Structure formats: C-alpha cells, structure tokens
Amino acid sequence: MYRRRDLFSLGLTTPFLVRRAHGQRRYSLLLKGGRVIDPSQGLNAVRDVAVADGKVAAIEPDISPREAERTVPVPGQLVVPGLVDLHVHGFEGMSYWGLDIDQHCVTRGVTTAVDGGTSGADSFDGFRRLVIRPARTRILAFLNISRIGLVGRPGELVDMRMIDADVALKAAREHEDVIVGIKVRCGADLTGPNDIHALRTARKVGDAIGKPLMIHLGNPHSPTEALVREARPGDMFTHSFRAPGTGGVADKDGNIPGYVLDAAKRGIHFDVGHGIGGFAFATAEAALKVGLLPSSISTDIHAPSALGPVFDMPTTLSKFLMLGLSLDKVIELATIAPARLISRSAEFGSLRPGFPADIAVLELVQGDFSFFDASRSVRKHNQKLVSVLTLREGRLP
C-alpha cells in the first residue's frame, strides 16, 4: 500500500498539471498495470487508466508512461470507479450523528457520499454552506421530512408539527441540484404513531420533485408490511438487512416474507445501511439464499459507528465478499448501482472516458480477518478490501 511519504515521491501531493499546450504530455496522470473493474462497462481486466483535465481520458491495455506527466504503477491493485456511499451522516457539531465526511469517505475510496437525512428544511441552508460546499468529497443529500432533521437523539417525527410538506418542498426546490430524494425514518421511537402519516407526507414531497424516498426501517410502530406496501417503484428501504424481527426484510423466524420478494419484483430497492443497528449476517444470509440481493451497499457511517462495527466502505464491502458475492458484484453495488438509484449514473459511478476521474485504488489483502455485524456477531474470512489511493477529479483529495 502507498503511504504518505510515497505520495511525495510520486509527485501526487500537488494538483496534476497538463502541459499539452507545450506539446509535452497528453495525460496528467497514468495508473499503470492495475486490474480495472468497472461494472458499468462490464470490464474486469488489466488495463492502464489515463487522466487529463480531471477526467478519465483513456483505458487501454498499454499506454506509454512517456505520454503522462506522472505514472503510478499499480500492479496487483484494483482500479475501480470512485465508490458511492448512498447513506452517510455529516453535519459534525450540529447533529448527534454527524461526522467529518471527508475524513471517513474520500480518504477511504468514497468519492461520492449521500447524506441520509441528517438535515431537514430548517437547517439545509447551513448544511449546504458548512458541509457540502467546502467538502472534497462530492456530497449529495436526502432531505429529512422532519423539518428539524437529526439534530438530537431519536424522536424527530413524534411531534406532528415537524412533519411539514410545504417547508420540505420549498427546501427541496431551492436545493434541487444536491437533494436526491426525501428521507423518512420509520421507527416507534422516531415517529410514535405518526409513521404512516410521515411516510405519506414524504411521498407527497417526493412526487412533487420527481425523486424517490429513502425509508428507514427499524422497529416501526406500524407493521413492516404496511410500510413496504406504501413504497413505490424507485423508492428504497435502508437498514433492510437488520436483525430478524426488528423491522427489516427478515421476520422474527429469520425468513424472508413473500411481500418483501414481491416488493423487490415491482421495483422497490433494499439498501444495506449498516450502521450500529442496521445489518445482521443472519438476515443477509437468509436473503441471499432466496435470491434477494441488496440494491446497493451503504455504510450508514456516523459518529457512533465509525469506530465499529462499520469502520469504512471497504470493510463493509468485504463483508459481502465473505457472504459469497463476487468481487464484480460488490463493486457494482457500491458504484454504478447507487448512482442509478438516484438518477446520477451519467455523472459518476463509471470509468468511461469523459467521466470525472473519480477513482479508487483498492487492494484485496489476504489474511485471517474477523468481521462484525451490528449485533457484534462475528464471521471469519481470508480476504479484505483496503483503500490504497483515491482520486477526486484526477487529484488527491
């Protein structure tokens, strides 16, 4: 793995400069000899990746280092599109859940992070100014249907006055370039008896802006089946693979009910949203056994989960390798798949020439590793993904 002192020797601690005007180089950077995995192109092969003007310029079997200002040899490494984490929580210092997104995302291979409703309409101006605008990570967001968002501990929807479609719609339209949908957390401690009302209000706003809902599942007041039946194609549930009988896709007996499988068939998506309570190996194993794969792998990384059991996106992806998903599928579920779910697949999630050079270089390390789910159940595996190098629009973040 590259360490910081190695980056100085590679010349990667300063912005990449293209001097084509002087006829000296075609590319600012060349990643040479890595195994490129890009599910958006069906590509899994040893290739060289060239960068120019902050974009992917070429992917070829052999590009001469003479054509690039800087060449980074990456033999034996995985070169993949910058990872897309569909569920994180920022607003450090404002929200109990918030953390420094750059520290935990762009330094760990995640070039696009989608905030999972930390901010509601009352605070979104500040969230954009203080978090989105200065970040090195590309940050998008689901707007919380609760106008106060996640400023405090659970309970943002218990007071009906916090469920205000008009103020949510106003904020969603004012920030339509970065808001990708509406978030509603459905749990008895979050909504009291208001979960269906909150969900339908979120639906009203989502319909008005033409964007999906992200619905938090977790010990809801109403039956999980009732919540699932409220969802429409394109909507996504998060924390879907939580412990059996706690509101996710598995019932108390650990089985996957027919209504969940029917929902998947009609276009409802089931995101991981690991966090401190949103993922159980037993549920994931039961779901995979009946062919229910996650629609996307996300971390739900926040202040309480960052030091375990989540840690980062590569660790979360490693758990699905352990569960038997192929490396190509795991990379797909953390790149082009989440980009498609929020209708941004023309902007990121791919290494196609012309796309932003958002690139994650990963290493698949061999060893003896222990992985923990949200209930601290443990599984062993002999492989683990780790982040080696991240480029955001062709530069070190």
HEC profile of the chain:
CCCHHHHHHHCCCCCCCCCHHHCCCCEEEEEEEEEEEEHHHCEEEEEEEEEECCEEEEEECCCCHHHEEEEEECCCCEEEECEEEEEECCCECCECCCCCHHHHCHHHCEEEEEEEEEEECCCHHHHHHHHHCCCCCEEEEEEECECCCCCCCCCCCCCHHHECHHHHHHHHHHCCCCEEEEEEEECHHHHHHHHHHHHHHHHHHHHHHCCCEEEEECCCCCCHHHHHHHCCCCCEEECCECCCCCCCCCCCCCCCCHHHHHHHHCCCEEECCCCCCCECHHHHHHHHHCCCCCCECCCCECCCCCCCCCCCHHHHHHHHHHCCCCHHHHHHCCCHHHHHHCCCCCCCCCCCCCCECCEEEEEEEEEEEEEECCCCCEEEEEEEEEEEEEEECCECC
Distance between first and last Cα of the chain:
17
CA distance 207 to 186: 19
Q: Give yes or no: residues 374 and 335 share one domain.
A: no
Cα gap 100→116, rounded to integer Å: 14
Looking at the fold, whether 96 and 155 belong to one and the same domain comes out as: yes
What is d(CA 134, CA 292) in angstroms, rounded to the nearest whole number?
38
225 and 365 together in one domain = no
> What's the length of the chain?
397
pLDDT of 397: 84
CA distance 163 to 144: 10
- 90 & 210 share domain: yes
Instruction: Assess whether 76 and 177 both reside in one domain.
Output: no
Same domain, 132 and 215: yes
Q: Mark whether 30 and 152 lie in a shared domain.
A: no
Pairing of strands 27-38, 359-372: unpaired
In a domain, 346, yes or no: no
Specify the residue for token string 């999980």: 224
What is the predicted pLDDT for the residue at 152?
78
**Could you tell me the pTM of the whole model?**
0.94
Give domain status of residue 261, yes or no. Answer: yes
Domain extent, residue 170, equals: 84-341
Residue 348: inside a domain, yes or no? no
User: How confident is the model at residue 153, as a pLDDT?
Assistant: 76
Final residue belonging to a domain, choices 315, 341, 367: 341
User: Does 262 lie in the same domain as 122?
Assistant: yes
Low-confidence stretches of the chain (pLDDT beneath 50): 1-11, 13-22
Residue 347 lies in a domain: no
Dist CA 334 CA 298 (whole Å): 7
332 shares its domain with 361: no
In this structure, the answer to whether residues 69 and 94 fall within a common structural domain is: no
The number of domains in the chain is 2
Same domain, 41 and 56: yes
> How far is it, in rounded angstroms, from Cα 90 to Cα 140?
11
**Is the residue at 30 inside a domain?**
yes
